[in-house]
Structure 1
Amino acid sequence: TEYHTEESVHISILSALCKLPFPDFEKVIKALLIEYAQDDNTYFTEIDKFGDINVFWSLMEKYYGYILEEKTIEHLSAFFLITGLYYTLEEKIPTHWGKFISPKRADCFVFLSNFMNNAKVMDYFDMLSIKVEKQLNLKDYIDKWHIDNYVVSDIFKIFDETILYKLTENLMSDVGEFERYKDIILQRRTKHWYKKYENDYNSIYWALIMLESWETVKDDIKEHKPYDLFHKYVKQYYIMDTAYRKFINSFDKVSNKEPLLELKEKIENTYVNGYLNQLSIKWSDSLAALEQNWQITPLDLQKDFYVNYVKPHEDKDERVFVIISDGLRYEAAKELEEELNTERRGSTKITPMFGVLPSYTGLGMAALLPHDEIKINDKFQVIVDGVNSDGIENRNKILQNSQEDSIAVGYELLSDMKRDDFRKLFGGKKVVYIYHNSIDARGDNFLTENEVFNAVEDTFGELKTLINNLINNVSATYIYIVADHGFIYKRGAIRESDKVSKESLEDSFQNRRFILTDKDADFNGTLTFNMNHIIQDSKLKCIVPRGVSRFKVQGGGANYVHGGAALQEVVIPVIKFKNERGKTAKEVKKVDVKLTSISRKITNSITYLEFFQVDKIQDKTVPRRLAVYLADEEGNRVSNENVIIADSNSDNPEDRTFREKFVLKSMKYDKNNKFYLVLEDEEETVEKIYDKISFIIDIAFMNDFGF
């Protein structure tokens, strides 16, 4: 018709003035809003000057219901965002905002959803949202609203800031509704501003995991036999160490730390003065009953690693790879084991060993090598079967003395190697020891010790890549990941009361957590053990501070320590990874998500659809993240977008059910035309469409009240 021709000409002119490649009224609006967000009005001025600004406003009225007297982009911005807010806020919108709510609410909401979820322009949406939030003085209202009423609102960042503030406040006040807080954080993950505040949310999440865990374990940490405490640690207590590590790691990445400083202090206090001190003192008390013998029957011993784990493969003529990661403590290895189990074909199992004392690199590394005899000479060098065990070359010799088809190499050598180089290096080798050092290298340097938890994260990535390379390049089947020792780390300052005084002993080997000496010495606040657990007929003794105290030693760097007898130092992980091939191997796959709503017909402008995560997340079944929306045959979106994160590990089907709200554009829908519910896997690079389900949209008369 003539009218449509006239309208399309107007839209073409508006689009050209906004420098768009083709006519599109929706993109004209976006261009003007993006410009306004940057305090610019060039396009708006151009339209006013060379086009017809009244045409723009009449099209705004026709398609989006804009009937405000004020014809400004400032008012238009508020109009869109308040209309969007209306859909997600379960509070009464302030009366004087009423005029900003569009009579064509659905169209505004769909426009807004597409604007804020479009990766190319979402940064401009953020700028616009911040601007409007200030103009509305939203802060004055949100304080009066209940958190449950805006827990799904994400138009403005103040919702996230307020939720974070309230969660922090509740954790500080020991309100203790841990499950509810977890639910709130899980709900926020699919929201627009989550990425900006991800580290804040993660900090709070790990803080609540730690505080919840502390509630469970604090009354259980009491007098136990060493064997029982060891097992309680590997079954349950270690979670405290993991949560503390993850909290500190997340906190370090938060850009504005101020709101979390008090919580950090609480976490530090709970971890150090509560958990670490309580556990280490009870453990020290239980060790005192060992009467100086460093042995707990029937625990696997670190010094028997080669005999227990490597030798059986050697005897069967199977090739075996051993990755020794310096300082990979048990709790971190537990996380790595879970990641390997989930992400890789093959089976993964972690077993704890009772480590050597003192728990330092020299002795820990020696204990993992094949040996008939270990000695410590008068220079405190660790000698394995007559060979100094310090350094990779010497360890290579020791390995080859036991099994000639062996090799010891450093991780750095392998990190840039190609497949052929791998094959040349490891061809014909039966036992391969690979030495990796990321955690201890950073922890042992006082300039970088505060990065040690970061180094743990890096280690996960490096070791997973290494395993990948070993499997792909040399078809490795049996891979062990093991450590020489663990470590203790706390972020807060070391106080004088954390230190133990000692006299200077001649001819002794000393660090912050142990003294090796053949002299008789009895310092307050220490435990002494003979070295017969690893060195036959030795006169040497190992003196360690009780608890997690440090010996007074000159120089910086006392936050990261090892060498002592704490569980975090002496529970040594062994991860056994077996790569599986062929039909028996379980493929790693993303979890399936199905639409469970039976009807494939939409008869209402606001419709709810239900989705189901088919399996729980467990071994070899990994999470899936989907963007879900309705579109026509050409792919034009006709609804808002919802995000589903299918990552529940619950057995309860209800916990794996998602109910999503779809708002449809108000337009004429021909029931003979095809529409599709599109499920897009955001993480896939090639085939993004996970599922596409045909729908009929049959809405007789479309308005915002759904009838």
Structure 2
Amino acid sequence: MASSISDHLAARFEQHRLVVWHDPESSYATDVDAHAPNGVAVLRVQNDEFGVKHRVLRDEPSTKFLIYRSGPVAEGAGNWLLDLELAYGVFTADRGALLRADLSLNAPGSDELIAGHETFFGDAKQVSKLTALLRADDDLAKVQAKMCAVVLGQKEHSFSELTRTLLVQHAAGDSAGYKALVTQGLADFHWSGAAKIYGYDSQTPSVAGLVLWMFKQARAGFAATTSNAARNIEIDFRSFRNDRQSLVALKKLARQAEIDLDYVEQAADASLAELVATDIFDAGEKEIIRRLIDGIASQTIPLHEIADTIRTRRRDSVWFDDYATLYAALGAAAELIPAIRSARIDVASFDDGFSRYRDDFFRIDQLYRHYTLASQTAEFTQPLEALNEQVENAYVTDFLSKLGISWQQQVDQAESWKTLAITSQSSFYNHYIAPQVRGGRKKAVVVISDALRYEVADELTSKIRRENKYDAKIEAMLGVLPSYTQLGMAALLPHKTLAHSENGDPVLADGQPSNGTANRSKILSSVGGTAIQATEFLKMKPSERRDLYAAHQVLYVYHDTIDATGDKAVSEHRTFKAAADAIDDLVDIVKKLANANATNIFVTADHGFLYQESKLASQFNLTVKPQGDKIVVANRRYVLGRGLKEDDAFRRFLPEQLGLSSDLEVQIPNSICRIVKPGAGFQFVHGGASLQEIVVPVISINKGRSDTVEPVNVDIHPESDKITTGQIVVKLFQQSPVTDQRTARKLRAGLYFGDQLISNEPELLFDAESAEGRDRFQSVRLLLSKDADAANNQSVEFRLSEPIGETGEWKKYKSAPYTLKRSFTTDFDF
């Protein structure tokens, strides 16, 4: 303390020539000289006040004096040194006074505050941290709030931030912070704040009690809208849940609160609209999912209502990410089942069947894939068990089987495997590539993804179009028969004739074997081209990829993810996951090709595939075996041989009917039937003539210099330019539907007074795909905070902000002016 007294005295003498020291208890009478700074004369007052005054004012007017007075001092006119004390102030060396001086506390009651918190102020580290937070104009409430912040180990001292910390700790089972507040005598202060700011008034307050009370208010919708306290707790509750640091804790607390409040039973009794209107509890989210499953299964909830509900949950619910895959399954099922039930499966002609699959039916396969993959990987699979069976029955029985039977009629009537209306796979090079590279001025790259079914390629097309500066369009070719890898790959190479070799494989292109990368490179060399496996291409350095592209007129890149997974019995159940991976792979390959200066890129496939999750029904497993003079190859979906015998279970083709130059005949099982082969899988097959197998995609991709992708625009539609209450609702309009190249836009909405946020600031997602304008309106409700008081009767700004990339920062997007005119202000805060 001696050094502290000396320091304080030195500071006084830097400002004044005279310092009057009161020492009522004579505690420092013997060592006052030791505390005096160098160059300062010590005068002890011993009933000689007049002489002291004469000396310091007249005799030595420039000397610095420490005037020491021990014992009691007379008050008022009886104090002959009163004029000096008033002019220069009085120094006292009691601990509280020194601390008050150290902290520059000027608020009334500071001495009592220090005396009442000896433990806190006895800790030098805590005092040091508090000193860094204090400002000269802090009142006692702010001082105590900052003391709480120091105890909790943070800089933020607002009541909401103190509460956030206690809630996060409580959720983690950590009571250290609250116990520290109790130890430091600050708990009562915190609970008085909770009563005044939130309206939480309890005889025995606790963090657990606050949590339960808070969720009760949330469950009731913070109904007391005229109460400032209700608005305060609602603003902070939403802030806690919007912040990533506290969201996890609030969700954990919510799961316990829903048990304590018996919310599961209440959710079961609520209407779907009531459930969708809130996102307080996890049990509510689960109940929404259960209602949607029931509505999809019974077809009692319209598709648009299911889609709107899922979109609303994605936009508004803190629980959505916990069930995002489950919701994806529901969205797919909601669209899939009515699409199957309303589909006109009858096929009028070969060209009609092909074009209807290309333009319409493929979407059912795509939705089935989306549903199946989501149901396989959902956060919880039990809720989907009944729906799984319904989806599977609808897909296999009402679509796959019926379309297979209807299409088989056209296959049976086809005299040859070609049509003038559809480009054949064998014509791929001449139709798509040769015109690009003719004359040597342009180059072309072809990416061939094994078993890239048309519906998967359609999704890939959309994903590429969502990449800025890329454009992509998809077309379809009539795939070769049999629809298997060796023949499909050969058909995509430059050639005049295709033929099976003596034992079926390899397939010969103009007499040259076409199997393997080396043989394909040899064939491509005739047109200045080469071939490479995707795995090798991806391993290359960027400069090596540029050199590879520059050195060749034509580049074929071979990718194999779907077939490599599906064509094995042990992994065929992962086919749809492989399809999703393939899409990501191919986007990556396309972007790396573009970065290697490629501008004309084509993505295609050797064949498609059939897939069903359920075990194949017995009627689709052929008991009859293919017969002939010689069976060369017997696969699950095709047979190669010589002198093959006709059978009603198969469609037999002569090689010339298929555009092949060899002597091998081909038999294809009818519809979706499979030839039984021990040990072979049943879910994933190809080689046959189903539309899923023979509608082969061609995606044409170009990368330009201009931007092609931008978020949808959003307009502000104010209904008034005045705010007269503690809240405001603003309508917002999404100008256009979300498409591949008009992406969803994320915004934050808030009220600002200058750069000061004076309301909550929720995040909004504008992702409506509807062409109807009325479906693209969205409303946001903002609650004014205590900071809005300073803006009363002044102009404020409704501001939409957008994120700056992945920086975590935001910038202004659009704004609208308002005038704040309220007749009351908010309640107390720290």
2:571 maps to 1:448: yes
Deviation at 1:579, TM superposition (A): 2.5
2:141 maps to 1:7: yes
2:201 maps to 1:67: yes
- CA distance in 1 between partners of 2:796 and 2:563 (Å): 57
66-75 or 105-114, which deviates more: 66-75
- CA distance in 1 between partners of 2:329 and 2:281 (Å): 21
2:384 maps to 1:260: yes
- CA distance in 2 between partners of 1:188 and 1:264 (Å): 22
2:370 maps to 1:243: no
- Sort the Cα spacing of 1:154 and 1:594 in 2 relative to 1 into closer, same or farther, 3 A: same
1:354/1:572 contact within 8 Å kept: yes
- CA distance in 2 between partners of 1:631 and 1:666 (Å): 13
Q: 1:289-328 alignment to 2 at 5 Å?
A: 289-291=413-415, 293-317=416-440, 318-328=442-452
- CA distance in 1 between partners of 2:204 and 2:263 (Å): 21
- Sort the Cα spacing of 1:207 and 1:690 in 2 relative to 1 into closer, same or farther, 3 A: farther
Residue 17 of structure 1 corresponds to: 151
Residue 133 of structure 1 corresponds to: 258
Q: Could you tell me which of 393, 410, 435 is aligned with 2:558?
A: 435
Report the secondary structure of 2:634's partner residue.
Answer: strand
- Sort the Cα spacing of 1:676 and 1:610 in 2 relative to 1 into closer, same or farther, 3 A: same
1:36/1:73 contact within 8 Å kept: yes
Q: Determine which structure has more spread, i.e. the larger CA radius of gyration.
A: 2
Residue 80 of structure 2 corresponds to: none
Which amino acid counterpart does residue 734 of structure 2 have in structure 1?
Q
1:220-246 per-residue CA deviation (whole Å, 9 max, x = no partner) reads 112421111111111111111010011
Q: 1:176-255 alignment to 2 at 5 Å?
A: 176-190=301-315, 191-217=317-343, 220-255=344-379
2:484 maps to 1:360: yes
Q: Could you tell me which of 186, 194, 204 is aligned with 1:52?
A: 186
Residue 608 of structure 2 corresponds to: 486
Residue 523 of structure 2 corresponds to: 398
1:303/1:534 contact within 8 Å kept: no
2:719/2:730 contact within 8 Å kept: no
2:626/2:645 contact within 8 Å kept: no
2:773 maps to 1:653: yes
Report the secondary structure of 1:648's partner residue.
Answer: coil
1:440-459 per-residue CA deviation (whole Å, 9 max, x = no partner) reads 11111222212211122222
Report the secondary structure of 1:616's partner residue.
Answer: coil
Q: Could you tell me which of 544, 551, 556 is aligned with 1:421?
A: 544
1:65/1:102 contact within 8 Å kept: no
2:337 maps to 1:337: no
Q: Could you tell me which of 272, 293, 318 is aligned with 1:168?
A: 293
- Work out the percentage of aligned pairs sharing the same amino acid: 27
Deviation at 1:623, TM superposition (A): 1.6
Which amino acid counterpart does residue 390 of structure 1 have in structure 2?
N
1:206/1:244 contact within 8 Å kept: yes
Q: Count residues with an aligned counterpart.
A: 685
1:425-452 per-residue CA deviation (whole Å, 9 max, x = no partner) reads 1223111111111111111122221221
1:442/1:448 contact within 8 Å kept: yes
1:594/1:611 contact within 8 Å kept: yes
Residue 142 of structure 1 corresponds to: 267
Q: 1:441-480 alignment to 2 at 5 Å?
A: 441-474=564-597, 476-480=598-602
Report the secondary structure of 1:197's partner residue.
Answer: helix
- Sort the Cα spacing of 1:666 and 1:6 in 2 relative to 1 into closer, same or farther, 3 A: closer
2:341/2:398 contact within 8 Å kept: no
1:13/1:51 contact within 8 Å kept: no
Which amino acid counterpart does residue 603 of structure 1 have in structure 2?
T
Q: Could you tell me which of 281, 284, 298 is aligned with 1:156?
A: 281
- CA distance in 2 between partners of 1:15 and 1:213 (Å): 59
Report the secondary structure of 1:278's partner residue.
Answer: helix
Which amino acid counterpart does residue 525 of structure 1 have in structure 2?
A
1:511-569 per-residue CA deviation (whole Å, 9 max, x = no partner) reads 11111111222344222122224545543221111111211011142211100110000
Report the secondary structure of 2:245's partner residue.
Answer: coil
Which amino acid counterpart does residue 773 of structure 2 have in structure 1?
P
- Sort the Cα spacing of 1:154 and 1:640 in 2 relative to 1 into closer, same or farther, 3 A: farther
2:498/2:661 contact within 8 Å kept: no
1:641-675 per-residue CA deviation (whole Å, 9 max, x = no partner) reads 43322223333322222111112225624237775
Residue 626 of structure 1 corresponds to: 747
Deviation at 1:193, TM superposition (A): 0.8
Q: Could you tell me which of 783, 788, 802 is aligned with 1:663?
A: 783
- CA distance in 2 between partners of 1:214 and 1:167 (Å): 19
Which amino acid counterpart does residue 456 of structure 1 have in structure 2?
A
Residue 28 of structure 1 corresponds to: 162
- CA distance in 2 between partners of 1:35 and 1:68 (Å): 21
- CA distance in 2 between partners of 1:512 and 1:447 (Å): 16
- Sort the Cα spacing of 1:473 and 1:244 in 2 relative to 1 into closer, same or farther, 3 A: same
Deviation at 1:394, TM superposition (A): 0.4
Unaligned stretches of 5+ in structure 1? none
Deviation at 1:138, TM superposition (A): 0.2
Q: Could you tell me which of 735, 756, 760 is aligned with 1:640?
A: 760
Report the secondary structure of 2:221's partner residue.
Answer: helix
Per the normalisation by structure 2, the TM-score is: 0.79
Deviation at 1:422, TM superposition (A): 1.2
Q: Which has the higher contact order (CA 8 A, sep 6+)?
A: 1
Which amino acid counterpart does residue 608 of structure 2 have in structure 1?
G
- Sort the Cα spacing of 1:101 and 1:167 in 2 relative to 1 into closer, same or farther, 3 A: farther
1:109-130 per-residue CA deviation (whole Å, 9 max, x = no partner) reads 1101110010122111111111
1:669/1:697 contact within 8 Å kept: no
- Sort the Cα spacing of 1:233 and 1:452 in 2 relative to 1 into closer, same or farther, 3 A: same
Report the secondary structure of 1:392's partner residue.
Answer: helix
- CA distance in 2 between partners of 1:536 and 1:238 (Å): 28
- CA distance in 1 between partners of 2:704 and 2:520 (Å): 30
Which amino acid counterpart does residue 142 of structure 2 have in structure 1?
S
1:79/1:102 contact within 8 Å kept: no
Deviation at 1:290, TM superposition (A): 1.6
- Sort the Cα spacing of 1:536 and 1:265 in 2 relative to 1 into closer, same or farther, 3 A: closer
Report the secondary structure of 1:29's partner residue.
Answer: helix
1:136-161 per-residue CA deviation (whole Å, 9 max, x = no partner) reads 01012122211112312011111110
1:508/1:517 contact within 8 Å kept: yes
Residue 76 of structure 1 corresponds to: 210
Unaligned stretches of 5+ in structure 2? 1-106, 110-137
2:735 maps to 1:614: yes
Report the secondary structure of 1:104's partner residue.
Answer: helix
2:622 maps to 1:500: yes
- CA distance in 2 between partners of 1:537 and 1:363 (Å): 12
- CA distance in 1 between partners of 2:704 and 2:669 (Å): 45
Deviation at 1:289, TM superposition (A): 1.4
- CA distance in 2 between partners of 1:103 and 1:700 (Å): 13
Per the normalisation by structure 1, the TM-score is: 0.92
Deviation at 1:163, TM superposition (A): 0.5
Deviation at 1:103, TM superposition (A): 6.5
1:12-57 per-residue CA deviation (whole Å, 9 max, x = no partner) reads 2222222223433222211221222223322222222222322111
Q: 1:283-294 alignment to 2 at 5 Å?
A: 283-291=407-415, 293-294=416-417
Which amino acid counterpart does residue 246 of structure 2 have in structure 1?
V
410-419 or 355-364, which deviates more: 410-419
586-595 or 671-680, which deviates more: 671-680
- Sort the Cα spacing of 1:40 and 1:674 in 2 relative to 1 into closer, same or farther, 3 A: farther
1:87-118 per-residue CA deviation (whole Å, 9 max, x = no partner) reads 38xxxx9xxxx9x9986111111101110010
